[in-house]
Amino acid sequence: MYQIGVDEAGRGPAVGPLVVCALCIPSLEIEVLKDIGAKDSKSLTRKKRDLLAKKIYSEIEKRNWKVGIITCSASRIDKERELTNLNNLEVELFKEAIISTEVQDFYGEIYLDACDINEKRFGDRVSSSLGKDWSQWTIQSKHKMDFDNILVGAASILAKFHRDKEIEKIGQVLNLDIGSGYPSDPKTRVAIGELIKGNTPNIHLRWSWATVENMWLKEKKKPIPKRSEIERNSVQSSISDW
């Protein structure tokens, strides 16, 4: 019997991706996570989280555990929010992460850190999205599951570790200190000010976030453009170049 823990990192930031991790291990090996000290990523310092992530990856390789990590770009977030909402998107991302573990032929339990105010609804929607190929798996969905369940805590560590690396890459590419990416971070707010100075907001910004929209409106004196329209026009222009 196996267990899968699923959690996300980066739901709230105005900069960078949202990352979802699904970690699958045999039920009998849960004690390994306890031995290495895995817990909810939010209770850990960056240094401790990075150390634990490396230990978990070492066990993944040694024990052939399965992991699925989905990195959802700011662009995808914006375009999905034009059509639906963040809760619907996260149902899809959790499904994609679980499928990426490629363990549908096994059976066991899936534990979700619920991203909906209604815990059961979130679990039911992920289950429905997975479909009949995953019918031999049961799903438990709960708020703060990353605190109560060590496997979900381990998944949260990997998700946060991966997002931190993505933020580092973005900062290096832009040659800009973007901080944590959260609107409450003074460094991030300064970075957003720099990233809205072009004809369109920078691709790594979440254009649909109120912080970005408001800063764009104040700077440009006009509403922020729709991501889908800008990217569609860009593709059409590239085709016409041929």
Instruction: Retrieve residue 132's tokens.
Output: 């009949």
pTM: 0.92
List pLDDT tens digits, range 156-184: 999 999 999 999 999 999 999 999 999 99
Number of Cβ within 10 Å of residue 222's Cβ equals 8
138 shares a domain with 116: yes
Any residues with CB less than 8 A from the CB of 70 and at least 6 apart, and which?
Answer: 19, 20, 21, 93, 96, 97, 100
pLDDT tens figures, 81-135: 999 999 999 999 999 999 999 999 999 999 999 999 999 999 999 999 999 999 9
**Residue 55 shares a structural domain with residue 82:** yes
Say if residue 143 is in the same domain as residue 198.
no
What average pLDDT does the structure give for the chain?
93
Burial class (CB in 10 A: 0-12, 13-18, 19+), 44: buried
* 178 and 196 assigned to the same domain: yes
| Of 145, 167, 164, residue with least CA distance to 155 | 145
Query: Which range, of 19-33, 152-166, 186-200, 217-231, averages the lowest pLDDT?
Result: 217-231
25 found inside a domain: yes
In a domain, 231, yes or no: no
Residue 71, pLDDT above cutoff 80: yes
Asked if residue 185 and residue 154 are part of one domain, the reply reads no
Do residue 32 and residue 149 come from a single domain? yes
